[in-house]
C-alpha cells in the first residue's frame, strides 16, 4: 500500500491527475484507492505486480516512490489493505460497530 500525503492537494484541481499520471507513465496499474482532504492511500494491482520478477518489482516500487516524492510525502507500507465503507450518515455508527465487530472477531488490527 502506498500512502501519499500532501497539504498541496487540499482544494486543488489536478493533484490526483498528477499522481495517477506517474503510475500511467510507469505502466503500473492501481487497484484500490481511498482519498481524504490531504491524502491518497492506494494498493497496486497484484495481478500486474506479482507477474513480474521480484527484483524488477522492488526497483519499480522504488521508482514510483521516488517520482511521487517530488510532489508529496510517500510511505510504502507492506502487508496492508484498504477497506472502504460507504453508508448512510444517519446509521454510520451502527455500520461502523458491525464492521469493527467482524474485524475484531477475525483478529484484524485496525
Residue 67: which pLDDT band, with cuts at 50, 70 and 90? very high
Query: Rounded to an integer, what is the distance from CA 91 to the centroid of its chain?
Result: 26
pLDDT at residue 36, rounded to an integer:
86
Q: Please give the pLDDT value at position 41.
A: 94
Give the pLDDT of residue 54.
43
**Has residue 77 got a pLDDT over 90?**
no
Threshold 0.75, pTM exceeds: no
Q: Is 107 helix (H, G, I), strand (E, B) or coil?
A: coil
pLDDT score, position 72 = 95
Nearest partner of 30 among 17, 55, 49, 13, judged by Cα = 49
Q: pLDDT-derived band of residue 13, with 50, 70 and 90 as boundaries?
A: confident
Q: Which of 14-18, 37-41, 79-83 has the lowest mean pLDDT?
A: 79-83
Half-sphere exposure at residue 24, Cβ-oriented, CA atoms within 13 angstroms: 6
Cα–Cα distances in angstroms (integers) from residue 27 to residues 22, 66, 104, in the given order? 9, 15, 37
- CATH 3.30.2130.10 domain position(s) in the chain: 2-79
Q: Which residue has cell 451502527?
A: 94
Q: Domain 2-79 has what CATH class?
A: alpha beta
Is pLDDT at 33 greater than 80 in this prediction? yes
Residue 56 has pLDDT above 60, yes or no: no
The overall average pLDDT reported for the chain is 84
* Strand pairing class (39-44; 30-35): antiparallel
Amino acid at each position: 500500500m502506498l500512502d501519499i500525503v500532501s497539504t498541496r492537494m487540499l482544494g486543488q484541481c489536478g493533484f490526483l491527475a498528477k499522481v495517477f499520471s506517474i503510475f500511467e507513465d510507469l505502466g503500473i496499474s492501481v487497484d484500490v484507492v481511498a482519498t481524504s482532504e490531504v491524502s491518497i492511500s492506494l494498493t497496486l494491482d497484484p495481478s500486474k505486480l506479482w507477474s513480474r520478477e521480484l527484483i524488477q518489482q522492488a526497483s519499480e516500487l522504488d521508482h514510483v516512490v521516488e517520482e511521487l516524492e517530488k510532489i508529496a510525502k510517500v510511505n510504502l507500507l507492506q502487508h496492508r489493505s484498504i477497506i472502504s465503507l460507504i453508508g448512510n450518515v444517519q446509521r454510520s455508527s451502527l455500520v461502523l460497530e458491525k464492521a469493527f465487530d467482524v474485524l475484531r472477531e477475525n483478529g484484524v488490527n485496525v
